[in-house]
Amino acid sequence: MLAALEAELSLLLTHLRDAAPCDESPRATRGSLAAQPVVVALTGIGKVAAALTAATLIERHRPRAVLFTGLAGSLSPRLRVGDVVIARRFIQHDLDASPLFPRFEVPLTGLAWFEADPAWSERMFEAAVRAVASLDADARAALAALGAGEPRVSPGNVATGDVFVTSGAARDAVRARVPEADCVEMEGAAVAQVCHARGLPFAACRVISDAADDSAPADFQAFITRVESRVTSAVLLGAFAAPS
Protein backbone atom coordinates (compact mmCIF):
# COMPACT_ATOMS: atom_id res chain seq x y z
CA MET A 1 0.00 0.00 0.00
CA LEU A 2 1.62 3.19 -1.22
CA ALA A 3 1.12 6.95 -1.01
CA ALA A 4 3.28 9.93 -1.87
CA LEU A 5 2.89 12.00 1.31
CA GLU A 6 3.36 11.09 4.96
CA ALA A 7 0.05 12.64 6.03
CA GLU A 8 -1.76 10.35 3.57
CA LEU A 9 -0.52 7.28 5.45
CA SER A 10 -0.62 8.33 9.10
CA LEU A 11 -4.24 7.32 9.67
CA LEU A 12 -3.88 4.00 7.86
CA LEU A 13 -0.84 3.13 9.97
CA THR A 14 -2.94 3.33 13.14
CA HIS A 15 -4.93 0.33 11.88
CA LEU A 16 -1.90 -1.93 11.41
CA ARG A 17 -1.42 -4.72 13.91
CA ASP A 18 2.10 -5.66 14.97
CA ALA A 19 3.44 -2.68 13.05
CA ALA A 20 7.22 -2.43 12.72
CA PRO A 21 9.52 -0.43 10.45
CA CYS A 22 11.10 -2.33 7.59
CA ASP A 23 14.83 -2.48 8.31
CA GLU A 24 15.78 -1.79 4.71
CA SER A 25 13.53 1.23 4.30
CA PRO A 26 12.80 3.88 6.95
CA ARG A 27 9.73 4.94 4.97
CA ALA A 28 8.08 1.49 4.96
CA THR A 29 6.17 -0.26 7.74
CA ARG A 30 5.19 -3.91 7.86
CA GLY A 31 2.23 -5.23 9.79
CA SER A 32 -1.09 -6.96 9.28
CA LEU A 33 -4.59 -6.01 8.21
CA ALA A 34 -7.45 -8.49 8.34
CA ALA A 35 -4.90 -11.05 9.56
CA GLN A 36 -2.89 -10.72 6.35
CA PRO A 37 0.64 -9.30 6.01
CA VAL A 38 0.98 -5.88 4.39
CA VAL A 39 3.67 -3.29 3.79
CA VAL A 40 2.66 0.38 3.89
CA ALA A 41 5.18 2.72 2.31
CA LEU A 42 5.81 6.35 1.51
CA THR A 43 6.99 6.80 -2.07
CA GLY A 44 7.74 10.49 -2.15
CA ILE A 45 6.52 12.73 -4.96
CA GLY A 46 7.06 12.15 -8.66
CA LYS A 47 7.48 9.32 -11.12
CA VAL A 48 11.06 8.31 -10.33
CA ALA A 49 10.54 8.27 -6.56
CA ALA A 50 7.34 6.25 -6.91
CA ALA A 51 8.79 3.76 -9.38
CA LEU A 52 11.94 3.27 -7.29
CA THR A 53 9.96 2.63 -4.11
CA ALA A 54 7.54 0.27 -5.82
CA ALA A 55 10.28 -1.74 -7.57
CA THR A 56 12.37 -2.03 -4.40
CA LEU A 57 9.50 -3.17 -2.21
CA ILE A 58 8.22 -5.61 -4.82
CA GLU A 59 11.63 -7.29 -4.99
CA ARG A 60 11.98 -7.48 -1.21
CA HIS A 61 8.44 -8.38 -0.15
CA ARG A 62 6.87 -10.18 -3.13
CA PRO A 63 3.33 -8.77 -2.64
CA ARG A 64 0.29 -10.24 -4.34
CA ALA A 65 -0.90 -6.76 -5.36
CA VAL A 66 0.08 -3.09 -5.13
CA LEU A 67 -2.43 -0.41 -4.12
CA PHE A 68 -1.87 3.36 -4.32
CA THR A 69 -3.86 6.24 -2.87
CA GLY A 70 -3.53 10.00 -2.92
CA LEU A 71 -4.73 13.28 -4.34
CA ALA A 72 -5.40 14.37 -7.92
CA GLY A 73 -6.45 17.44 -9.83
CA SER A 74 -9.59 17.26 -11.93
CA LEU A 75 -9.38 17.42 -15.71
CA SER A 76 -13.09 16.78 -16.15
CA PRO A 77 -16.02 19.10 -15.43
CA ARG A 78 -17.86 16.15 -13.91
CA LEU A 79 -15.28 15.77 -11.12
CA ARG A 80 -15.56 18.09 -8.12
CA VAL A 81 -13.45 18.59 -5.02
CA GLY A 82 -13.93 15.61 -2.71
CA ASP A 83 -14.95 13.19 -5.46
CA VAL A 84 -13.17 9.84 -5.53
CA VAL A 85 -11.68 8.38 -8.70
CA ILE A 86 -10.90 4.68 -8.94
CA ALA A 87 -8.33 4.42 -11.69
CA ARG A 88 -9.27 2.55 -14.82
CA ARG A 89 -5.98 3.08 -16.68
CA PHE A 90 -2.87 5.28 -16.57
CA ILE A 91 -0.79 7.30 -19.03
CA GLN A 92 2.29 9.53 -18.73
CA HIS A 93 1.14 12.83 -20.21
CA ASP A 94 4.69 14.22 -20.33
CA LEU A 95 6.32 11.25 -22.11
CA ASP A 96 7.32 11.79 -25.73
CA ALA A 97 9.98 9.60 -27.37
CA SER A 98 8.87 10.45 -30.90
CA PRO A 99 9.82 9.99 -33.66
CA LEU A 100 11.38 6.76 -32.42
CA PHE A 101 8.11 5.75 -30.75
CA PRO A 102 4.57 7.12 -30.82
CA ARG A 103 3.94 9.95 -28.38
CA PHE A 104 3.09 8.69 -24.85
CA GLU A 105 4.20 5.13 -25.65
CA VAL A 106 6.68 3.73 -23.14
CA PRO A 107 9.62 2.64 -25.31
CA LEU A 108 9.95 -1.09 -25.90
CA THR A 109 6.61 -1.92 -24.27
CA GLY A 110 4.21 -1.09 -27.10
CA LEU A 111 1.97 0.55 -24.50
CA ALA A 112 0.93 4.10 -23.75
CA TRP A 113 -1.92 3.19 -21.38
CA PHE A 114 -1.46 0.76 -18.49
CA GLU A 115 -4.62 -0.91 -17.21
CA ALA A 116 -5.61 -1.11 -13.56
CA ASP A 117 -6.44 -4.56 -12.24
CA PRO A 118 -10.23 -5.06 -12.60
CA ALA A 119 -10.74 -7.16 -9.48
CA TRP A 120 -8.84 -4.87 -7.12
CA SER A 121 -10.38 -1.80 -8.73
CA GLU A 122 -13.85 -3.19 -8.08
CA ARG A 123 -12.96 -3.86 -4.45
CA MET A 124 -11.66 -0.30 -4.10
CA PHE A 125 -14.75 1.11 -5.80
CA GLU A 126 -17.12 -0.67 -3.43
CA ALA A 127 -15.03 0.38 -0.43
CA ALA A 128 -15.00 3.99 -1.69
CA VAL A 129 -18.78 4.07 -1.93
CA ARG A 130 -18.98 2.96 1.69
CA ALA A 131 -16.27 5.43 2.72
CA VAL A 132 -17.94 8.54 1.32
CA ALA A 133 -21.32 7.49 2.72
CA SER A 134 -19.85 7.29 6.22
CA LEU A 135 -17.71 10.45 6.25
CA ASP A 136 -17.69 12.06 9.67
CA ALA A 137 -18.94 15.55 10.47
CA ASP A 138 -15.48 17.13 10.42
CA ALA A 139 -14.73 15.87 6.91
CA ARG A 140 -18.09 17.08 5.68
CA ALA A 141 -17.49 20.48 7.28
CA ALA A 142 -14.13 20.72 5.52
CA LEU A 143 -15.78 19.95 2.19
CA ALA A 144 -18.58 22.42 2.83
CA ALA A 145 -16.03 25.16 3.55
CA LEU A 146 -14.63 24.56 0.07
CA GLY A 147 -18.07 24.73 -1.50
CA ALA A 148 -18.03 21.01 -2.26
CA GLY A 149 -21.10 18.83 -2.21
CA GLU A 150 -21.60 15.18 -1.42
CA PRO A 151 -18.57 13.25 -2.73
CA ARG A 152 -19.17 10.89 -5.62
CA VAL A 153 -17.23 7.81 -6.67
CA SER A 154 -16.45 7.02 -10.30
CA PRO A 155 -13.95 5.16 -12.44
CA GLY A 156 -11.56 7.34 -14.40
CA ASN A 157 -8.47 7.57 -16.56
CA VAL A 158 -5.39 8.97 -14.83
CA ALA A 159 -2.71 11.17 -16.41
CA THR A 160 0.65 11.19 -14.63
CA GLY A 161 3.50 13.66 -15.05
CA ASP A 162 6.40 15.24 -13.23
CA VAL A 163 4.66 18.57 -12.87
CA PHE A 164 2.21 19.87 -10.27
CA VAL A 165 -0.54 21.34 -12.45
CA THR A 166 -1.59 24.62 -10.83
CA SER A 167 -2.86 26.87 -13.62
CA GLY A 168 -5.73 26.81 -16.05
CA ALA A 169 -3.30 27.02 -18.96
CA ALA A 170 -1.28 24.03 -17.75
CA ARG A 171 -4.46 22.04 -17.09
CA ASP A 172 -5.82 22.82 -20.55
CA ALA A 173 -2.52 21.73 -22.09
CA VAL A 174 -2.81 18.34 -20.40
CA ARG A 175 -6.44 18.08 -21.52
CA ALA A 176 -5.43 18.87 -25.09
CA ARG A 177 -2.67 16.26 -25.09
CA VAL A 178 -4.72 13.52 -23.42
CA PRO A 179 -8.43 14.28 -23.81
CA GLU A 180 -9.35 10.85 -22.45
CA ALA A 181 -7.84 11.64 -19.03
CA ASP A 182 -10.14 12.52 -16.13
CA CYS A 183 -7.59 13.58 -13.52
CA VAL A 184 -3.90 14.38 -13.19
CA GLU A 185 -1.30 13.40 -10.58
CA MET A 186 2.43 12.59 -10.32
CA GLU A 187 2.96 8.88 -9.55
CA GLY A 188 0.31 6.45 -10.78
CA ALA A 189 1.45 5.62 -14.31
CA ALA A 190 5.02 5.05 -13.13
CA VAL A 191 3.93 2.50 -10.53
CA ALA A 192 1.55 0.94 -13.07
CA GLN A 193 4.49 0.45 -15.45
CA VAL A 194 6.57 -1.23 -12.74
CA CYS A 195 3.71 -3.54 -11.78
CA HIS A 196 3.09 -4.40 -15.43
CA ALA A 197 6.75 -5.33 -15.83
CA ARG A 198 6.57 -7.52 -12.71
CA GLY A 199 3.23 -9.11 -13.61
CA LEU A 200 1.52 -7.75 -10.49
CA PRO A 201 -2.04 -6.44 -10.08
CA PHE A 202 -2.15 -2.69 -9.48
CA ALA A 203 -5.04 -0.44 -8.50
CA ALA A 204 -5.29 3.15 -7.33
CA CYS A 205 -7.70 5.54 -5.66
CA ARG A 206 -7.44 9.33 -5.99
CA VAL A 207 -9.40 12.01 -4.15
CA ILE A 208 -9.97 15.20 -6.14
CA SER A 209 -8.41 18.12 -4.27
CA ASP A 210 -8.74 20.85 -6.89
CA ALA A 211 -9.49 21.65 -10.53
CA ALA A 212 -5.81 21.40 -11.50
CA ASP A 213 -5.58 25.20 -11.49
CA ASP A 214 -4.98 27.97 -8.96
CA SER A 215 -8.06 26.96 -6.95
CA ALA A 216 -6.23 24.38 -4.82
CA PRO A 217 -7.15 24.52 -1.12
CA ALA A 218 -5.26 27.23 0.75
CA ASP A 219 -4.43 24.71 3.47
CA PHE A 220 -3.49 21.64 1.50
CA GLN A 221 -2.34 19.77 4.60
CA ALA A 222 -5.71 20.30 6.29
CA PHE A 223 -7.53 18.88 3.27
CA ILE A 224 -5.33 15.78 3.39
CA THR A 225 -5.86 15.31 7.13
CA ARG A 226 -9.56 16.10 7.33
CA VAL A 227 -10.79 14.61 4.05
CA GLU A 228 -8.39 12.68 1.84
CA SER A 229 -6.63 10.53 4.43
CA ARG A 230 -9.97 9.51 5.96
CA VAL A 231 -11.40 8.50 2.60
CA THR A 232 -8.36 6.69 1.29
CA SER A 233 -7.65 4.87 4.56
CA ALA A 234 -11.22 3.57 4.56
CA VAL A 235 -10.88 2.57 0.92
CA LEU A 236 -7.70 0.59 1.55
CA LEU A 237 -9.06 -1.04 4.68
CA GLY A 238 -12.31 -1.95 2.97
CA ALA A 239 -10.66 -3.24 -0.18
CA PHE A 240 -8.10 -5.32 1.65
CA ALA A 241 -10.62 -6.82 4.05
CA ALA A 242 -13.03 -7.79 1.26
CA PRO A 243 -13.20 -11.50 0.38
CA SER A 244 -10.95 -12.44 -2.55
For this structure, is 96 an active site residue?
Answer: no
> Which of 6, 8, 115, 185 is flagged as catalytic?
8
* 3-class SS string, the chain: CEECCHHHHHHHHCCCEEEEEECCEEEEEEEEECCEEEEEEECCCCHHHHHHHHHHHHHHHCCCCEEEEEEEEECCCCCCCCCEEEEEEEEECCCCCCCCCCCCCECCCCECCEECCHHHHHHHHHHHHHHHHCCCHHHHHHHHHCCCCCCCEEEEEEEECCCCCCCHHHHHHHHHHCCCCCEEECCHHHHHHHHHHHCCCEEEEEEEEECCCCCCCCCHHHHHHHHHHHHHHHHHHHHHHCCC
> Which of 105, 182, 185, 210 is flagged as catalytic?
210
For this structure, is 138 an active site residue?
Answer: no
By annotation, the residues acting in catalysis are: 8, 210
